[in-house]
Amino acid sequence: MKLRVVFFCVSVLILSSCGSSKKASQSKTKKSAGVVLNESKPEKLPSVNEKELTKKLLNKNSSLNKQTLAYIRKYAPISVKEMHENKIPASITLAQGILESGRGRSELALKSNNHFGIKCHTQWQGERVYHDDDEKGECFRKYQFVETSYDDHSAFLTERKRYSFLFNYGAKDYKRWAKGLKKAGYATDKQYPNKLIRIIEDYKLYEFDKVKKKDFKLDDKATEVVEKEVNSKNSIAKYYEVTKGDTLYSIARKFNTTVALIKEVNGLKDNVISIGQHLLIQ
């Protein structure tokens, strides 16, 4: 009888111990939302002739992506500001912003204002979101303002030793910077340098590398609305949820676009898609 009682007590202790350890394990794996950091309100920046440049580009080539042109008009000044303050070519910053954020329209960018795909890492205490990237449910930094993500991008490159060799290159040597970013491990995509260089050359972003600090003058005129096409219904970000039987080809035909474009804006490395996956559609 005594042995039965002892055995019963031991069993209860083991079960309760397992239950508590399971709860502890669950609490450890619970995803933290982080804390809201006090971000400075974005300042008004001088014009860098971004409107003139994009209008000329569009006049010469009407097939250029309208969302990309709108992105350039909006964020070229802060790219030049970061260049003057941190010695990172404006063309590189701007091209990375365009590519990493899907022209500011990717799912991650829209829900976190994170335009550079910067992950949380151990030292990040701010707000965070979870998004599928190289692995499922990875932690990414969340910002109140897109401009803060630009500042953080500069800090990310200037404060890490693995990127230090990049600053030995000239501020106008965007090709070496693009290749150097891949070498330092910023991205896993083998075509990452080529994609950056293509964006820079197709949209002449290297022109912003030539802007001198003394010419960085504030434009007091009211900002002209030169992107009516971008503000049309077609410019609103659209997402498609993959269903059984879908292929990239069938989705491209359905939305009158191309497989290559869908892969580009969604950062897909191959043609593999899964049911329930959300794809940004142009």
What integer is the mean pLDDT of 70-93?
96
Residue 147: DSSP 8-state: H
Intrachain domains 37-218 and 234-282 with the same fold:
no
Domain boundaries, the chain: 37-218, 234-282
Question: 96 or 246: which carries more pLDDT confidence?
Answer: 96
Spell out a b/e string for 74-107, using b for 16 or more CB atoms within 10 Å of the CB, else e.
Answer: bbbbbbbbbbeeeebbbbbbbbbbbbbbbbbbbb
The token pair that represents 124 in the structure block: 């990040």
pLDDT score, position 17: 52
C-alpha dihedral sign at 67, 217, 219, 43: positive
Mean pLDDT across the stretch 5-23? 50
Q: How confident is the model at residue 256 (pLDDT cuts 50, 70, 90)?
A: confident
HSE-CB of 248 using CA atoms within 13 angstroms: 17
**Mean model confidence pLDDT for the chain:** 82
d(CA 261, CA 257): 7
pLDDT in tens, 231-240: 444 444 577 8
Tokens encoding 226? 């030169």
pLDDT tens digit sequence for 45-64: 999 999 999 999 999 999 99
CATH of domain 37-218: 1.10.530.10
Residue bearing the bigger pLDDT, 12 or 238: 238
Strands (E), the chain: 128-131, 138-141, 238-241, 278-281
**212 vs 219: which has the higher pLDDT:** 212
Tell me: pLDDT of 219 over 60: no
Kindly report which listed range (106-110, 149-153, 177-181, 257-261) carries the lowest average pLDDT score: 257-261
CATH code at 234-282: 3.10.350.10
